[in-house]
Amino acid sequence: MFPRIPWFVSAPSLSQTIRPVIRSLPENTPATLKQLHAQLSHSPHLDLSALSVSQPLAPLPGPPLPLRLPRGRRKRGGTYAGESMHDIPGGIWSWVLMAQVKEGTESKGAIQSVVRVVRKTVRDSNKSNCWVD
C-alpha cells in the first residue's frame, strides 16, 4: 500500500500520501542542479512544495550610512562600509536550490539523510563532468 520508508520517518498520514505539485525548473538550469532536483524530488523527508531552483535575487539596497569623518589619532570610526559580494557582478552564487524538510522529521535524521543525497549527487555529477587537459 505505502512505499517503504526508513524507520526514522513517521508513517505517512492520508494527507501526506498526496504528492504536491513540483515546480518546474528554469530552462537554463545547469545539469548538476537538474540531477540534484530529480534526486531530491523522490525524498520522503522533503516538503516538495518548498523545493525550488532559481537564480539568486540581489538584495534591496539599504538606507545610506550617515556621513561621518574618521576621528582620533588613528583615524577610526568613519562611515566607509567597505565592499560587499553584492557589489561584484555575478555575486557569490549563480544558482540557488531551496529545500525544506517535513515538519517533525528534523530530529529523526531527515536533515542528515538529505545532506547525504546532496553530497552523493554532487560528487557523482562532478566525476562525470570533469575534463582532462
Residue range 104-123, pLDDT digits in tens: 877 778 888 899 999 998 88
Distances in Å between the alpha carbon of 11 and those of 5, 41, 42, 72? 8, 19, 16, 66
pLDDT > 60? residue 14: no
Cell 549563480, located at residue: 94
Q: From start to end of the chain, where are the E strands?
A: 52-54, 96-98
Segment 37-78, tens digit of pLDDT: 989 988 888 888 888 898 887 777 778 778 888 888 888 877
Of 2-6, 52-56, 61-65, 92-96, the range with the highest mean pLDDT is: 52-56
